[in-house]
Every structure is written in structure tokens, then in C-alpha cells.
Amino acid sequence: MNDAKTELGRKLLKIKKQHGWKWSDIAAKLGHAPVWTAAACLGQMSMTEETAAKTQTLFGLTDEEAELLAEAPYRGSLPTAVPTDPLIYRFYELIQVYGTTWKDMIHEEFGDGIMSAIDFDMTLERQPDQKGDRVKLTMSGKFLPYKRY
């Protein structure tokens, strides 16, 4: 694991909070989607040198920190196999309950393969509802069929 990337992510979160920025604000300044921007700043994606330079200027980072943003990360940021944070655990719970359903439905629609987490987009929206606002996540990943020899 890259503890330096994790520490840098914590530093960026602190600066973000001090300025009252939202991920959508930062994303607009960097020219990327908010979800990708958050993942990159938290150490789960590698930035191009150009984006790392923009991030350096925006956050007032050192050259070494900007270089770290461009490094390929060790992906996977959860400290335990079963997440203990309640919000993150709900996603784990969704996989437990719906994982086999999603797998079967994807196979039914596309055939034997997977949804890419590399060629992947995700958006997050607030959806107003009279019973309380809802979280709307939209995920889109390229279908990758398994090769047959």
C-alpha cells in the first residue's frame, strides 16, 4: 500500500474543507468528472502530469506531492475485508443481497463476462423525494466477455 498517497489524500480533504469546496467545484477546475476527481485526490486513480499540475496549483502542493498524484496507486482503500463504516457497509450489503442477481442479469443480457471497473463511469445525484432525499448512483462499465480458446 502507498501510505504517502493516503496521507496526501487526507491533506487534500483538509484543504478542501478549509476552502468549503465541493468535489464538483474541484472537478470543474480540473476538467474531470466529480467521482473520478474525488477518487484521484483520495489516491485511487493516477492523474496525468497536466491534471497533477492543476491540482498542485489549486491545493498549493509541493512538486513531490504533484508527482505522487501521477503515480499508479495501490487500489483498494478499505482497512478491513468487511467494512465497518456504516455507509460503506451498505454497499457491501448491496453486493451480498443483489450481487448474484446483477451477475445473472448481466449474463442474461450480455453473455458470460464482466462489467469493467477500468473503462467505467459513475455519477452521483441528489434526488428530491417527499419522504426524504434519495441518493442516485448511476454506474456504467464496458462489458468484457470472457475469451474462449
Give the integer Cα–Cα distance in Å for 63 and 54: 12
Average pLDDT over residues 57-74: 96
| Burial profile 39-55: b = 16 or more Cβ within 10 angstroms, e = fewer | bbbbbbbbbeeebbbbb
Give the pLDDT band of residue 2 (cuts 50, 70, 90).
low
- pLDDT at residue 98 in the model: 93
Establish whether 140 is a catalytic residue: no
pLDDT of 90 > 90? The answer is: yes
Give the integer Cα–Cα distance in Å for 135 and 149: 42
What pTM was computed for the model? Answer: 0.81
Establish whether 90 is a catalytic residue: yes
Give the pLDDT band of residue 105 (cuts 50, 70, 90).
very high
Query: Which one is catalytic: 49, 50, 75, 116?
Result: 116
- pLDDT at residue 92 in the model: 94
Q: Output the CA torsion sign for 124, 127, 132, 137.
A: negative
Instruction: Give the pLDDT confidence of 11-52 residue by residue, as tens digits.
Output: 999 999 999 999 999 999 999 999 999 999 999 999 999 999
**Every domain of the chain and the residues it spans:** 3-70, 86-145
Query: Which one is catalytic: 10, 50, 93, 134?
Result: 93
Query: Which one is catalytic: 90, 109, 125, 148?
Result: 90
Q: Which CATH number fits domain 3-70: 2.60.40.10, 3.90.230.10, 1.10.260.40, 1.10.10.10?
A: 1.10.260.40
Q: Which of 136, 108, 134 is nearest to 123 (CA)?
A: 136
Give the pLDDT band of residue 83 (cuts 50, 70, 90).
confident
Q: List CB contacts of 11: < 8 A, sequence separation 6 or more.
A: 59, 65
- CATH topology for 86-145 is Cyanate Lyase; Chain: A, domain 2 (3.30.1160)
Q: How many CB atoms lie within 10 A of CB 26?
A: 23
**Percent of residues, the chain, with pLDDT higher than 70:** 99
